[in-house]
Amino acid sequence: MAVEVKHASMSGGIRRLICAVLMLLSAVAAAAPMSPSGTWNTLLERHVVAIDGGHASRVDYAGMRHDEALLDAYARQLSAVTPAQFDAWGKTDQMAFLINAYNAFTIEKVLTRWPDLHSIKDLGNFLSTPWRDRFFTLLGKRRNLDDIEGMLRAPGRYDDPRIHFALNCASIGCPMLQPFAYTGAQLDRQLDAAVADFLGDRSRNRYDAATGTLEVSHIFDWYADDFSRGGAGSMTGFLAAHAASLGNDPALRRRLREQSVPLRFLPYDWRLNGIAPSSTR
């Protein structure tokens, strides 16, 4: 009889141990960030083409349309993430998730009217813009692209102006859509590379030595306040920190350090960032 009681006690202990392990594994799975390196990475590798020495890119929207089932599957994966899961992640995992979501949902939006589309702005009307259309679900709510940008830009949350070089608005004037997904583990390196790629594009950021003027993208005008966060102190401070990407002119670097260089904001090119039908890869 004592032996039977002992066995019963051991059996109960094993069951409790198994239950504890299963609960731990469930908690870890819930808190683990969703890996974006699968479907989304595949789509970007297949359908994003780097141009201009890697400083810009074009999207093969025909290819994205062909793989629309994969894009829809990724969108469902994004929408399945709960607020509790998201809140359990670290900041870099959260940021990578939001950046990837913004870029993926932007492509989904473009495909609603592609190929009869000259600019993403054509998807808006006199009452709204394409960025305010609540056409997807994210973190338990019906949302729009402005909502994602707002989460990334919220003061005190991430305070990293480099996100502006990772978000792609499907336009030629935008920083390039990278041919890979962002990940929390690599985010710092990826954002630094995105800044360097964009600032190194002389069609969108350049120094006019004749006038001593630094001509930069309108992004720096629209989001000027954001560039005062993250340690830069100001927009010109941010540009000074990345002077090497803006050129080798000693006068420019000196004036950036002194924050004495005048700025001119270049016109923004809202044309769709798609590959021309006659282009070959």
Torsion of CA 72, 94, 195, 255, to 10 degrees: 150
Q: How far apart are CA 223 and CA 210, in angstroms?
A: 27
Q: How far apart are CA 184 and CA 33, in angstroms?
A: 9
Token pair recorded at residue 201? 């594009």
pLDDT tens per residue across all 281 residues of the chain: 444 544 444 455 555 544 443 343 344 444 445 554 589 999 999 999 999 999 999 999 999 999 999 999 999 999 999 999 999 999 999 999 999 999 999 999 999 999 999 999 999 887 789 999 999 999 999 999 999 999 999 999 999 999 999 999 999 999 999 999 999 999 999 999 999 999 999 999 999 989 999 999 999 999 999 998 877 788 888 999 999 999 888 888 888 888 889 999 999 999 999 997 654 44
- Residue 57, strand partner residues: 50
Q: How far apart are CA 145 and CA 25, in angstroms?
A: 34
Distance of CA 139 to the CA centre of its chain: 16
Question: pTM to 2 decimals?
Answer: 0.86
Pairing of strands 141-143, 56-59: unpaired
Q: Which residue has the tokens 């970007």?
A: 44
Distance of CA 76 to the CA centre of its chain: 18
Q: Would you say 192 and 241 are in contact if contact means Cβ atoms under 8 Å apart? A: no
Query: Which amino acid does the sequence have at 101?
Result: A
Distance of CA 16 to the CA centre of its chain: 44
pLDDT at 10: 46
- Residue 215, strand partner residues: 206, 264
Q: How far apart are CA 241 and CA 239, in angstroms?
A: 5
Our CA angle for 107, 76, 36, nearest 5°, is 70
Share in percent of the chain as helix, strand, coil (round to 5): 55, 10, 35
